[in-house]
Amino acid sequence: MPRPQLVVLSGAGISAESGIPTFRDADGLWEGHDIMEVASPQGWNANPELVLEFYNQRRKAALEASPNTGHKILASLEQYFEVTVITQNVDNLHESAGSTRVIHLHGELFKSRSTIDSSLVYPIDGWELKLGDLCKKGSQLRPHIVWFGEEVPMMEQATIICNSADILVVVGTSLIVYPAAGLLNFVNSQIPKYVINPNMPQIDPMPNLHLIHKGAGEGLTELKEILVKN
């Protein structure tokens, strides 16, 4: 008997309890920075050093963070379900907690890639990526991040996975940024859908929707009891 497919869509909120700021909460990342200056191709072309520094600071913070209860509970659910975590986060806390199938829709903080050949992707050891760090073809390395206005290459794979989900868990996302936020519409409308957020985003009514108005750690603890008991 194949185990049920549990699909998770996570956002910055699941890393908040690890001390990593979200984007749109009070004193979030987008309060202190202009998105277009630090997270867009235009910003990169105008001032690559500013962009490199923005991601260096985020990488430094992520290096000092540890997975929290929420990350660990999602990893523990692999004992009971086929779990795929589709995350908008670029930190590696899901993997550090033990999740084995993680899809990063918006890229990965600890990887860089060539600016002339996007298939050339390199791990970043430590926290710094600098001007003058070049790919093997001699071009400047950029953060391996999906910037605003860029394609989301993993989206097709994510929609296919959502199509076969038996359970959907949405945790720690404001569901503002598309196409990621649209994944809710790619699951079978009849499956149970759990949304965990202390500040619940607006969600259109849909069947079998369960809203848990709590933080990731508390909410996932509650959800695990529901899922594992059934």
| Residues designated as active site | 106
Residues 149-178 that bind ligand APR (CB under 6 A): 172-174, 176-177
Nearer to ligand APR, 135 or 144 (CB): 144
| Interface with ligand APR, residue 23, by CB under 6 A | yes
Contacting residue, 106, 113, 142, 193, with ligand APR by CB under 6 A? 106
Nearer to ligand APR, 28 or 179 (CB): 28
Contacting residue, 88, 92, 99, 114, with ligand APR by CB under 6 A? 88
Nearer to ligand APR, 86 or 187 (CB): 86
Q: What is the DSSP string of the chain?
A: -PPPEEEEEE-THHHHTTT---SSSTT-HHHHS-HHHHSSHHHHHH-HHHHHHHHHHHHHHHHT----HHHHHHHHGGGTSEEEEEES--SSHHHHHT-S-EEETTEEEEEEEESS-TT-EEE--SS---TT-B-TTSPBEEEEE--TTS--TTHHHHHHHHHT-SEEEEES--S-STTGGGGGGGS-TTS-EEEE-TTPPP----TTEEEE-S-HHHHHHHHHHHHHH-
- Binding interface with ligand APR (CB under 6 A): 11-14, 16-17, 22-25, 28, 88, 106, 172-174, 176-177, 197-199, 201, 215-216
